[in-house]
Amino acid sequence: MTENHLTQRNRKTEGKLALGREPWTESRIQAESGLLAESEAYALRAADKLVKAQVPRQDIQILAKLVEGLGHLGVVTTLDKAAGEVLIQTTEGCWPDLRRALEHMPVELRFLTEETCRQDMSKPEKSLRYRQPPKGD
């Protein structure tokens, strides 16, 4: 194909695209996608649960691997490495399962989120700190 032939073909294609577009179509699509993006953002905000916790500095990496490896129940982000502060992001639906898993992990964990602390304080049999299991001989 020659360059002239390609140019003519491109002009025909551009003409078809220009004829196929209606001004109202673009605005409708933009409006629908804007509504869709807005509803998705709301759904993400409503579904997320952020739990701030503190663990010994040396256990941050193992906590992240355990939480993220448990069927994607949550994601761990380090907030302050020196203090051992982490942020666990999960969903409302996954939080009960993740919480039970955290109670049985070999990591000393203390919740720092006010809402979570209040829930823990109302249950005297559960402390904020979880003991590490005894090490085998």
Q: Do 70 and 39 sit in the same domain of this protein?
A: no
- Residue 113 scores a pLDDT above 90: no
Model confidence band, residue 40 (pLDDT cutoffs 50, 70, 90): low
Q: According to the model, what pLDDT value does residue 125 have?
A: 42
Q: Do 72 and 33 sit in the same domain of this protein?
A: no
Residues 6+ apart with CB under 8 A from 60: 76, 78, 81, 84, 86
Residue 115 lies in a domain: yes
Q: Do 17 and 82 sit in the same domain of this protein?
A: no
Residue 126 lies in a domain: no
pLDDT digits (tens, 9 = 90+) for 52-78: 999 999 999 999 999 988 878 899 999
Any bridge partners for residue 64, and if so which?
none
Q: In terms of residue numbers, what domain contains 90?
A: 47-121
Size (the chain), residues: 137
Cα-based angle 110, 113, 115 (whole degrees, multiple of 5): 120
- Residue 45 scores a pLDDT above 90: no
Q: Do 31 and 74 sit in the same domain of this protein?
A: no
Model confidence band, residue 128 (pLDDT cutoffs 50, 70, 90): very low
Q: Do 64 and 96 sit in the same domain of this protein?
A: yes
